[in-house]
Chain A
Amino acid sequence: MLRRTFLRTTTLAAFATLALSAAHAENPTLKIGFVGVTSGPAAAWGISNQRSMETRAAWLNELGGVKIGDTTYDIEIVPFDDQKDPKRAIAGMEKMAQEGIHYVVGPNVDDGAAAVRPVAEQNGIIYFPYAFPKSLYTPPASNAILGMVANYQSGPAIYKYLMDDKGVKTVAFVAANESDPLSQRDSGVEAAKALGLDVVSDTVTYQVDTTDFTPVLLPVIQKQPDLLVLSGVSPANAPQLIRSARELGFQGLISTETAQDATVLQEGAGDLANGFISVGGASTPELASDEMKEFVDRYTKMFGEYNDESNTKVYALEYILETLKADPAAIDDVEEFKKTVDTFSAPNPFMKGDAKLSYVGTTSFGQKRQVAVPLVVNEYKDGKFETLFVAEVD
């Protein structure tokens, strides 16, 4: 009975996929994988990720495909939902290997990224996790490329700016009691101390399912820090934390090193979120190129609503394709890719000016295992993000 249902549905789904790919069957397809969480509590991370990849792929295909070497490819995104479970993430990576995919975006969390490492290395897969543990990127590890700016890179830049420009002297940290936020809090505390900030509170944690943050924040607010850092805060928790802090009478600055969504902040905290500092991509009007604007339009058309988190997630696919263009031999040989990484450079289509796409990370990891994404620090104001400053990571 169950078997039959499964068979029927999988056959149906297979036909649907076939039909979709048959629509533009003139070009050979280049499959790029995505292993991440697209259901459950953390679905927002993976979904914004997968959707930005699908948007970009559909767009490139519409333009006639991507020319790598002498062949023009259509891009196909192969997604896998790992349910934020590292055991599933391994299965996802195995599936990618099975499909002959060499380039995968994801996973979204630390434990998944660590768990897929053996599979990726055995099967010659380069993957772009959105996870920060340095051990993934420092030798002997060599197949992971950090897909965004790590908080130990953005944190110091933000704190420095706030010390110099806003006179911040004391700082407090709050984090969810899960691996990723806690690791980020610890490295944030370290960075703040190194800059000479006075860390007045760094032990308060909360469960991600908290429905009322007032009791959580009460002991922190009583310490009256100049800056409250929400380490690794998820977009779902951020507005509630901001709201509770402000309602408790907190007057100082609030910041985080993760990407947020303006609509979510607007709905969840309203005016109370004004002045909230977060890290974003290149979507603010001052920075976004016409291509970025068109990307946002296409995304909105395809999926109904844009998610600002996608600003930071549009890059990984672009890096993969541009690097393959620079070195067509890398298409099925990741060793070639690793060689090209050291010298690669291409214009950044999503940002105004002459920003470049290149690989960085030598300072943090001892090798180039990170995409150079502009570190754009935003301030939320009345439903929109405004750029505070832009920095580079090396």
Chain B
Amino acid sequence: MEQIIANGLYLGAQYALIALGLTLIFSLMNVLNFAHGQMYVFGGFITYSVVSQLGMPFIVGLIASAVTLAAMGALIERFLFRTVIRRSAREESTMLLAAGIAFFLDAVILLLFGEKQRGVPKIVNGVFNWDFRLIMPYDRILIGVLAVAMIVCFILFMQYSKAGRAMRALAQDRTAAQLMGVDVDRYSMIGFALGAMLAGLVGALLVTITGINLGMGGPTSVKAFMMIMIGGAGVISGAIAGGFILGMMESVGLSVLSSFGDITYLVIFASLMVFLAIRPQGLMGKPWG
């Protein structure tokens, strides 16, 4: 039991961090970023290159991933999304752009980093073992703690910094924020960069544990979508709740339903659909987001 909860919490922390970036971008620009998973993969590969191939310490890789992805996010917003949003008649059209970017990043990742699964050496060795009731490798604990710390930092940033407040204002009501003198273009760009940076950071953290390969992008995006659906699209607390709930569902579901095997994920997905049918805006979302 302890093990199941611990697994769920660890999964939840990493999921929540992935979902945060996605929900931030969604709340600011109403863009469902299909390329989020690819950005995560990209971040992982950058850390891999820095740590494994250049032989630098892990923290350098972490920073390199964050910086690269933030720059990439800013550029994508500035030169792609801004143009398309301004010129398209229906806002959903950005989905095609996002999907195009996802494919493009897939192609770039394949050409730059190759087709193989990659991983970096463990950053901490050893396994925490509490009488076989709770087993958790130290590196997993460390990554879990780091993920939670980043989530806390992010919340503090959004709550108390000027940029954070501006972005929250934007998310609430774009027009009103603009009238109040918020530089919409500037903060959209910062927000997108921040969202991409979060994706890169998760990639950098997880490459030490699960490794990375070019195929993880698409499925990660889909999973992140599910989390923000559970919590409510465009709501920060919702993304965190959604991440932890999905993590718990998987952990508990895999244990309880293990004897039924093939249907574990079927049950998880089907119950998600039922949940959304009952509560169409997720846990804390605005209705009709």
Contact = CB atoms under 8 A, between A and B. Distances in A.
Complex: A in contact with B (CB within 8 Å): yes
Interface of A: 38-44, 47-48, 177, 182, 201-205, 207-209, 211-212, 214-216, 218-220, 235-236, 239-240, 247-249, 261, 263-264, 267-270, 304-305, 307
Given A40-B106, A203-B262, A249-B135, A264 B215 contact: no
B49 interface: no
Nearest to B214: A43
A208 B210 CA distance: 12
Contacts of A203: 258-262
Given A41-B216, A212-B7, A239-B211, 9 more contacts: A40-B106, A40-B218, A41-B214, A47-B115, A203-B260, A203-B261, A205-B261, A218-B7, A269-B119
Contacts of A207: 219, 265
Contacts of A240: 210-211
Contacts of B132: 249
Given A203-B259, A218-B3, A212 B14 contact: yes
B93 interface: no
A39 B10 contact: no
A157 to B, nearest CB: 26
23 contacts: A40-B106, A41-B215, A41-B218, A44-B116, A203-B258, A204-B258, A208-B215, A211-B206, A211-B220, A212-B10, A215-B4, A215-B250, A215-B254, A218-B254, A219-B255, A219-B258, A235-B116, A239-B211, A240-B210, A247-B140, A268-B119, A269-B119, A305-B116
A310 B135 CA distance: 37
Contacts of A215: 4, 7-8, 11, 250-251, 254-255
Interface in B190-215: 206, 209-211, 213-215
Interface in B1-24: 3-4, 7-8, 10-11, 14
Closest 3 CB pairs of A and B: A41-B215, A203-B261, A209-B219
Contact of A204 (B52, B115, B261): B261
Given A211-B206, A212-B10, A215-B255, A44 B250 contact: no
Contacts of A211: 11, 14, 206, 210, 216, 220
Interface stretch (B63-71, B77-85, B120-128): B120-128
Give the dominant DSSP class at B's interface. helix
Given A203-B261, A239-B211, A267 B118 contact: yes
A104 to B, nearest CB: 21
B259 A218 contact: no
A273 to B, nearest CB: 11
A205 B262 contact: yes
B129 interface: yes
A304 B223 CA distance: 33
Given A264-B117, A307-B116, A182 B127 contact: no
Contact of A267 (B7, B114, B120): B120
B248 to A, nearest CB: 10
Contacts of B96: none
Contacts of B100: none
B223 A209 contact: yes
B127 A239 contact: no
Interface of B: 3-4, 7-8, 10-11, 14, 52, 106-107, 110, 114-122, 127, 129, 132, 135, 137, 140, 206, 209-211, 213-216, 218-220, 223, 250-251, 254-255, 258-262, 264-265
A236 B213 CA distance: 7
Contacts of A268: 117-119, 211
Given A207-B219, A239-B119, A177 B52 contact: no
B106 A236 contact: no
A47 to B, nearest CB: 4
B264 A261 contact: no
A42 B216 CA distance: 10
Given A215-B255, A235-B116, A270 B211 contact: no
Contact of A235 (B117, B216, B220): B117
Nearest to A246: B127
Nearest to A48: B115
Most buried by A among B220, B250, B258: B258
A247 B135 contact: yes
Contact of B135 (A177, A219, A248, A267): A248
Contacts of A204: 254, 258, 261
Contacts of B254: 204, 215-216, 218-219
A177 B253 CA distance: 15
Identify which of B135, B211, B262 gathers the most chain A CB atoms within 10 Å of its CB.
B211
B14 A249 contact: no
B262 A236 contact: no
Nearest to B6: A214
A236 B261 contact: no
B135 A42 contact: no
B220 A182 contact: no
Given A39-B107, A212-B11, A215-B254, A247 B114 contact: no
B219 A44 contact: no
A236 B215 contact: yes
A39 B215 CA distance: 8
A269 B74 CA distance: 35
B258 to A, nearest CB: 4
Nearest to B215: A41
Contacts of B218: 40-41
A236 B114 CA distance: 13
Nearest to A220: B258
B7 A205 contact: no
